[in-house]
C-alpha cells in the first residue's frame, strides 16, 4: 500500500522507500502499448508467415495462442 509521508510529501511503498509515481505509470503505459503493438504486428504478419513457411491458417492460429499464453504468464510475473 502506498502511503504519504507527512514530513517530505513523498510517496512511499510498503517498505518505507520512496518511489516516483509518474515513472511507474509511464512504465506501465509503455509496457501495455508495446504489448498491443506486438499483437498487431503479429496479426498483420500472418499472410507472410503462411506463405513463407508454407503453413495453414490453423497452424498460424497456434502462434497467436502461444503468444497470448506467454504474455498472460509474463505480465503477472514481471509486475
Instruction: Please determine, for residue 68, whether its predicted confidence score (pLDDT) is greater than 90.
Output: no
pTM for the whole thing?
Answer: 0.56
Instruction: Report DSSP state, residue 76.
Output: H
Q: Is 18 helix (H, G, I), strand (E, B) or coil?
A: strand
Condensed to tens digits (0 to 9), the pLDDT of residues 4-54 reads: 544 457 788 888 888 888 988 898 888 888 888 988 888 898 899 899 999
Q: Which has more confidence, 55 or 13?
A: 55
What integer pLDDT is reported at residue 52 of this predicted model?
94
* Residue 55: CB atoms within 10 Å: 14
Amino acid at each position: 500500500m502506498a502511503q504519504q509521508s507527512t514530513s517530505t510529501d513523498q510517496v512511499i511503498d510498503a517498505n518505507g522507500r520512496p518511489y516516483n509515481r509518474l515513472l511507474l505509470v509511464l512504465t506501465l503505459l509503455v509496457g501495455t502499448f508495446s504489448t498491443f503493438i506486438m499483437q498487431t504486428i503479429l496479426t498483420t504478419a500472418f499472410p507472410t508467415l503462411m506463405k513463407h513457411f508454407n503453413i495453414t491458417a490453423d497452424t498460424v492460429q497456434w502462434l497467436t495462442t502461444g503468444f497470448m499464453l506467454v504474455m498472460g504468464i509474463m505480465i503477472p510475473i514481471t509486475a
